């Protein structure tokens, strides 16, 4: 017979009758009336073409056919129950789950060192896989559950996904510490608009992110820069700046990661540019998954700014996050 046409609730009644052998006991156990239990048994008898249970002084005795069904039905219901229980049983200290996170290259440099070290303490057997947010199927992979979380300034995920703000950051100018514009040996040198405009710049395209908006913002202010070099990502930027007189406009938290390793300094931009808001994004299919809820709370605890609103939102609803602020 076609299982798709069978009311699976009838199998629960069947299983309870095997256990209790009396309609009254099954009704009490399931919170049903006795007529409702009898009606369910009648429908299952009609569907399967067998009496299933016969009334005796000892109670409802299963037929040979019912006995053959007993073990596979019990196993199926038990498997389903275990699968449902997993949803409420995520323990980071015991879990061996693998989470897949999509990051920009600048996000890899900022988030991963902290994530890996914190994960070792909070969830020693949990593993991470990192993919690029620039892949063309990012939305599809998130909808299919192949990517658990995406972090960054990702305007392509603003609609149709849950999101939670982590922090805001400004854009700053980055250069080597011996650059003529750095104010050699000073940590607080001011960068003038004229000096910024006349300097030679590195432009970071950062496809798949919203960081290119800073170029648009500067252009709208009629500030024209001399681009000596254009690169697709941030990975080599520290090395390039440390060996040249080029300067770059970058997110501040990226700058903080590369200052010491490459001998760089940061300077405030001489012109106002809106800050960028960094979010974590996820698909609705994982919104109520306990393991995923733990992951989001953990990320927010590690990186969430106390000045940012601590809620999760979609284009349709707002949900209160269980995570605490740091």
pLDDT of 309 higher than 70: no
Counting the structural domains of the chain, the total is 3
Asked if residue 142 and residue 103 are part of one domain, the reply reads yes
Which tops the pLDDT comparison, 227 or 184?
227
- Say what percent of the chain tops pLDDT 90: 52
pLDDT-derived band at 320, boundaries 50, 70, 90: very low
Beta-sheet pairing, 247-251 with 200-204: parallel
Please report, for the domain that includes residue 158, its CATH number.
3.40.190.10
- Under a CB-based contact definition with an 8 Å cutoff, are residues 102 and 128 in contact? no
Asked if residue 9 and residue 125 are part of one domain, the reply reads no
Asked if residue 153 and residue 296 are part of one domain, the reply reads yes
- Establish how many alpha carbons lie within 13 A of residue 27's alpha carbon, considering only the half-sphere containing its beta carbon: 13
Looking at residue 311, its pLDDT comes to 59
Mean pLDDT score across all residues of the chain: 85
- Under a CB-based contact definition with an 8 Å cutoff, are residues 308 and 168 in contact? yes
pLDDT-derived band at 308, boundaries 50, 70, 90: low
Tell me the whole-structure pTM to 2 decimals: 0.66
Report if residue 325 sits inside a domain.
no
Asked if residue 38 and residue 179 are part of one domain, the reply reads no
Report if residue 36 sits inside a domain.
yes
Asked if residue 284 and residue 137 are part of one domain, the reply reads yes
Asked if residue 225 and residue 198 are part of one domain, the reply reads yes
pLDDT-derived band at 121, boundaries 50, 70, 90: very high
Asked if residue 261 and residue 175 are part of one domain, the reply reads yes
Q: Per residue in 123-151, pLDDT tens? A: 999 999 999 988 778 888 888 888 999 99
- Say what percent of the chain tops pLDDT 70: 87
Asked if residue 180 and residue 248 are part of one domain, the reply reads yes
Asked if residue 119 and residue 157 are part of one domain, the reply reads yes
Please report, for the domain that includes residue 74, its CATH number.
1.10.10.10
Tokens, residue 263:
């001998």
Ranking 34-38, 209-213, 305-309 by mean pLDDT, the lowest is 209-213
pLDDT of 317 higher than 80: no
Q: Per residue in 227-274, pLDDT tens? A: 999 998 898 999 999 999 999 999 999 999 999 999 999 999 888 888
Report if residue 35 sits inside a domain.
yes
pLDDT-derived band at 321, boundaries 50, 70, 90: very low
Report if residue 92 sits inside a domain.
no
Report if residue 11 sits inside a domain.
yes
Asked if residue 281 and residue 164 are part of one domain, the reply reads yes
Asked if residue 194 and residue 155 are part of one domain, the reply reads no
Asked if residue 293 and residue 163 are part of one domain, the reply reads yes
Angle in degrees, 0-180, between the axes of helices 105-122 and 252-262, rounded to the nearest 10: 80
Report if residue 93 sits inside a domain.
no
Report if residue 19 sits inside a domain.
yes
- Under a CB-based contact definition with an 8 Å cutoff, are residues 155 and 139 in contact? no
Looking at residue 185, its pLDDT comes to 41
User: Which candidate, 215, 295, 299, places its Cα nearest to that of 250?
Assistant: 215
Domain that holds residue 33: 3-86
Looking at residue 286, its pLDDT comes to 87
Looking at residue 175, its pLDDT comes to 96
Among the candidates 86, 108, 132, a domain finishes at 86
Report if residue 106 sits inside a domain.
yes
How far apart, in whole angstroms, are the C-alpha atoms of residue 153 and residue 276?
7
Helical residues (DSSP H) of the chain, grouped into ranges: 8-20, 23-30, 34-48, 64-86, 105-122, 138-143, 193-198, 213-220, 237-242, 252-262, 290-303
């Amino acid at each position: 017979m076609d299982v798709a046409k069978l009311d699976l609730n009838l199998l629960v009644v069947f299983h309870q009758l095997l256990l209790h052998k009396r309609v009254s006991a099954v009704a009490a156990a399931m919170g049903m009336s006795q007529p409702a239990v009898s009606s369910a048994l009648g429908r299952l008898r009609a569907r399967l073409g067998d009496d299933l249970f016969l009334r005796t002084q000892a109670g409802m005795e299963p037929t040979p056919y019912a006995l053959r069904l007993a073990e596979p039905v019990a196993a199926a219901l038990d498997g389903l129950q275990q699968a449902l229980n997993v949803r409420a049983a995520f323990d980071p200290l015991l879990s061996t789950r693998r989470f897949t996170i999509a990051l920009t290259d600048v996000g890899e440099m900022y988030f991963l060192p902290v994530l890996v070290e914190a994960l070792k303490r909070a969830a020693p057997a949990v593993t991470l896989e990192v993919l690029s947010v620039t892949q063309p199927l990012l939305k599809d992979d998130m909808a299919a559950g192949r990517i658990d979380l995406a972090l960054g300034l990702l305007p392509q995920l603003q609609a149709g996904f849950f999101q939670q703000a982590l922090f805001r950051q400004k854009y700053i100018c980055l250069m080597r510490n011996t650059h003529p514009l750095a104010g050699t040996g000073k940590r607080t040198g001011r960068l003038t608009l004229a000096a910024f405009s006349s300097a030679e710049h590195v432009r970071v395209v950062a496809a798949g992110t919203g960081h290119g908006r800073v170029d648009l913002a500067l252009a709208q202010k009629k500030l024209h820069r001399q681009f000596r070099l254009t690169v697709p990502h941030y990975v080599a930027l520290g090395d390039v700046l440390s060996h040249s007189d080029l300067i770059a406009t970058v997110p501040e938290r990226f700058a903080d990661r590369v200052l010491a390793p490459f001998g760089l300094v940061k300077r405030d931009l001489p012109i106002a540019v809106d800050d960028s808001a960094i979010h974590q994004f996820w698909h609705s299919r994982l919104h109520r998954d306990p393991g995923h809820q733990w992951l989001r709370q953990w990320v927010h605890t590690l990186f969430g700014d106390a000045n940012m609103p601590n809620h999760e939102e979609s284009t349709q609803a707002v949900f209160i996050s269980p995570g605490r602020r740091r």
